[in-house]
Amino acid sequence: MKYQGIIFDLDGVICSTDEYHYRSWKALADRLGIPFDRERNNLLRGVSRMDSLKIILEKSDKTYSEEEQIAFAEEKNALHRQLLSQMSPADLSDEVKNTLDTLRRAGLKLAIGSASKNTPFILERIGLGDFFDAVADGNCITHSKPHPEVFLKAAEMLGLKPAQCLVVEDAHAGVEAAVNGGFDCAAIGDARDDPRAAWHLKGVSDLLQQL
């Protein structure tokens, strides 16, 4: 492989926690009477919690104070955490698990680059708490994707330059962040056809074709 490290987004790449984000935002939006569907949810992929809320509130007739917005974000996160707490290693697919193991055996360094502050909790739930060589997440960044900060941090933690790493992303904002940081990107899921990506994956196991 032309890369020495791979930086994975978490939600929607390693596991299907993107669905839990959708369900918990949908519950909040319904309670507030704000239109919100799966298409609009795609705009939230890779975007931080508060910025996601702001996108949802764009469709509201009302304006909400900063305190109300913080309370809404906490309400959403409580619902999200409830769903996450029910996860177990069974929620890590065989495809993802086998791909990670094969890449590791091939000598690649593996990292997470996620906007989520729930990253450590999710990794613990799915049995990957100690797996990755580096974890950069929403707890250690100040700029949201499409800013490249989270991927630059992950590469630095791996001791690699951006050109030596491949980023795997399901969010258009994440593909943009990777490119902004000087990384090649493999796009999957919702972002799969993003023309800025160097690779377009049907599944994570397609990465093994590059070995």
Residues tagged active-site: 9, 11
SS3 4: coil
If the CB atoms of residues 48 and 99 are measured against ligand BG6, the closer one turns out to be 48
Closest CA to 25 of 50, 61, 6: 50
Stretch that binds Mg ion, among 28-36, 53-61, 65-73, 170-178 (CB under 5 A): 170-178
H-type helices in the chain, by residue range? 17-32, 38-41, 49-57, 66-85, 94-105, 119-125, 149-158, 172-180
Q: How far is the CB of 162 from ligand BG6 (least distance, A)?
A: 20
From the list Mg ion, ligand BG6, none, pick the one residue 47 interacts with, judged by a Cβ distance below 5 to 8 Å according to partner type: ligand BG6
From the list Mg ion, ligand BG6, none, pick the one residue 41 interacts with, judged by a Cβ distance below 5 to 8 Å according to partner type: none
In Å, what is the CA distance from 162 to each residue of 27, 128, 180, 185, 190?
38, 24, 10, 11, 24
Single-letter code of the amino acid located at 91: D
SS3 51: helix
Q: How far is the CB of 156 from ligand BG6 (least distance, A)?
A: 20
The contact set with ligand BG6 (CB under 6 A) reads 10-11, 21, 44-49, 52, 77, 114-118, 138, 171
Q: How far is the CB of 190 from Mg ion (least distance, A)?
A: 8
**Residues of this chain that bind Mg ion (CB under 5 A):** 9, 11-12, 170-171
